[in-house]
C-alpha cells in the first residue's frame, strides 16, 4: 500500500491501469468504512486501484464543534487500510489542502438547507469543497459514499451532476452494530449509559417503517411516533426528526413512495444521525 500526503505525489503516481475508486473518509475507520472499501474493490476489480483518503476537514466543522478532539488514530487506520488491501492511502495535512488565502468554495444551495443543514450552517459547503478537491487530486473513475450520511450522498450526486464531474457515485448501505446502532467514528465519545440508550434510534426508525407498512399515511403521526420513542431515552436530545422526499429532501405531509425518515439526536455533546427509506 502506498501512503501519500502531498498532492504532487498523488499526481505523479503510477498505477497499473484499470479503474480508480475512491473512498473519502475522516479516518477512525470502522466496519462501515470497511464495507465502502469492499464495494470500491468490487468496482475497481483486482487490477484497479482502491484509494482511501483520510482527512479531518476543518472546513466542515462549525466553530465550537469537535474538530480538535475528532479521533485521529493514525497507526491503526494505516493497519486497517493495509488489512483491507487498499492500494493507496492519501493522508494530507490541512496545510496541503488549503492555502491560507483560499477564496473558492463550492456551495449547494437547495438540498443543503434541509435536515442537518439547519443546525450545521456551512457544513455541506465544507463537504462539497473538500470532496471536489479530492476528485480533482485523485481523478477517480468512481467514489463510494455511505447511505448513513444520506443528505451528504444526495448533495455529492447533485454536485457531480451540476458541475459535470466525470465519475460515478456509488452508494453503500449503512453498516450497524448487532444492536442496530450505526457504526460511526463518533460512537466512541458515548458513555456506557449513552451507548445503551442510543439503540433507541434504530428501534424508533424501525417502528416508523412498520407503521408505514401497516398503512399509516400521515407524516406527522410518523414523526410523533419516532419522537415519543426517543423521548423514552432520558439522555437523548432530539435535534430533528423529519420525513422527507428522498430526492428533494423537502419535508412531506404524507408518506408517499420514495420517502425518507431521518433524524439527528444528541447524547451529551455527541450528535448521532440515522435514517431509513420507507416502503
Binding positions for ligand AMP, 14-43, rule CB under 6 A: 25-26, 32-33, 35-36
CB 86 within 8 A of CB 57: no
Q: Which C-beta is closer to ligand AMP: that of 90 or that of 183? A: 183
Helix (H, G, I), strand (E, B) or coil at 44: helix
Binding positions for ligand AMP, 185-244, rule CB under 6 A: 185
- Under the binding rule (CB under 6 A), the answer on residue 91 touching ligand AMP is no
- Between CA 42 and CA 138 the distance in angstroms is 19
Count CA atoms within 13 Å of residue 174 on its CB side. Answer: 19
31-44 helix and 74-83 helix, angle to the nearest 10 degrees:
40
- Between CA 7 and CA 34 the distance in angstroms is 24
- Between CA 146 and CA 31 the distance in angstroms is 12
Residue 33 is a catalytic residue: yes
Q: Which C-beta is closer to ligand AMP: that of 174 or that of 270? A: 174
Binding positions for ligand AMP, 163-192, rule CB under 6 A: 172, 174-175, 182-185
Containing 59, the helix (H) or strand (E) segment is: none
Q: Which C-beta is closer to ligand AMP: that of 174 or that of 197? A: 174
Residue found under cell 458515548: 190
Q: Which of 11, 15, 30, 33 is catalytic?
A: 33
CB 255 within 8 A of CB 225: no
- Under the binding rule (CB under 6 A), the answer on residue 127 touching ligand AMP is no
Q: Which C-beta is closer to ligand AMP: that of 200 or that of 223? A: 200
- The contact mask relative to ligand AMP for 129-168 (x = CB under 6 A, - = no) is ----------------xx-xx-------------------
- Which residues lie near ligand AMP (CB under 6 A)? 25-26, 32-33, 35-36, 145-146, 148-149, 172, 174-175, 182-185
Amino acid at each position: 500500500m502506498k501512503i501519500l500526503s502531498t498532492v504532487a505525489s498523488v499526481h505523479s503516481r503510477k498505477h497499473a491501469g484499470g479503474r480508480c475508486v475512491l473512498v473519502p473518509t475522516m479516518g477512525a475507520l470502522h466496519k462501515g468504512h470497511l464495507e465502502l472499501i469492499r464495494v470500491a474493490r468490487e468496482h475497481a476489480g483486482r487490477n484497479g486501484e482502491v484509494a482511501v483518503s483520510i482527512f479531518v476537514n476543518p472546513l466542515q466543522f462549525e466553530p465550537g464543534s469537535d474538530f480538535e478532539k475528532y479521533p485521529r488514530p493514525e497507526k491503526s487506520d494505516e493497519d486497517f487500510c493495509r488489512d483491507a488491501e487498499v492500494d493507496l492511502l492519501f493522508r494530507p495535512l490541512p496545510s496541503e489542502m488549503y492555502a491560507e488565502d483560499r477564496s473558492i468554495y463550492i456551495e449547494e444551495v437547495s438540498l443543503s438547507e434541509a435536515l442537518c443543514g439547519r443546525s450545521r450552517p456551512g457544513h455541506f459547503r465544507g463537504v462539497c469543497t473538500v470532496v471536489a478537491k479530492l476528485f480533482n487530486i485523485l481523478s477517480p473513475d468512481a467514489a463510494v459514499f455511505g447511505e448513513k450520511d444520506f443528505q451528504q450522498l444526495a448533495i455529492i450526486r447533485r454536485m457531480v451532476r451540476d458541475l459535470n464531474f466525470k465519475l460515478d457515485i456509488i452508494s453503500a448501505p449503512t453498516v450497524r452494530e448487532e444492536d442496530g446502532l450505526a457504526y460511526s467514528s463518533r460512537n466512541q465519545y458515548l458513555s456506557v449509559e449513552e451507548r445503551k440508550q442510543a439503540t433507541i434510534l434504530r428501534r424508533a426508525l424501525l417502528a416508523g417503517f412498520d407503521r408505514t407498512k401497516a398503512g399509516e399515511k400521515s407524516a406527522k403521526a410518523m414523526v410523533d411516533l419516532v419522537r415519543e420513542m426517543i423521548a423514552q431515552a432520558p439522555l437523548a436530545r432530539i435535534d430533528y426528526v423529519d420525513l422527507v422526499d428522498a430526492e428533494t429532501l423537502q419535508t412531506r405531509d404524507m408518506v408517499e413512495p420514495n420517502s425518507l425518515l431521518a433524524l439527528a439526536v444528541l447524547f451529551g455533546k455527541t450528535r448521532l444521525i440515522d435514517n431509513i427509506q420507507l416502503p
